[in-house]
Copies of this chain bind each other. A is one copy, B any other.
Amino acid sequence: MTAQAAFRALADPTRRDILMMLAHQDMTIAEVAENFDMTRAAVKKHLSVLSDGNLITVRPEGRARINTLNPQGLKQVFDWFGYFDAFWDDRLSRLRASIEKDMQ
């Protein structure tokens, strides 16, 4: 329920790279793995962590699994930043509120 899983997932550079790739297009595990110098199993683990953090969703398509970027997880992290609004100024605070409202 908390954003912990999302923050945890974002801590690894490989996982952040995967998210950037998925921002361009959905990909199967094998397709994602092609972009890294590590085994498919390792990539699969990263995808599981990303899934745990609600940063991606996975839908089966035949024998393949299509990984898709999920804004929910990103939103959780984005929301957390809201706590620091007071640290910035009121105007930014209002803009953030507006963005959050629309992202739901």
Chain A residues with CB under 8 Å of chain B are 2, 4, 7-8, 10-11, 13, 16, 19-20, 23, 69, 71, 74, 77-78, 80-81, 83-84, 86-89, 91-92, 95-96, 98-99, 102-103
Q: Is the CB of A102 within 8 A of B98?
A: no
Contacts of A69 in B (CB 8 A): 84, 87
Q: Is the CB of A87 within 8 A of B23?
A: yes
Contacts of A7 in B (CB 8 A): 10-11, 16
> A92-B102, A103-B92 are known contacts. Are A16 and B84 too (CB-CB below 8 A)?
no
Q: Which of B4, B23, B81 interacts with A13 by CB under 8 Å?
A: B4
Q: Is the CB of B23 within 8 A of A84?
A: yes
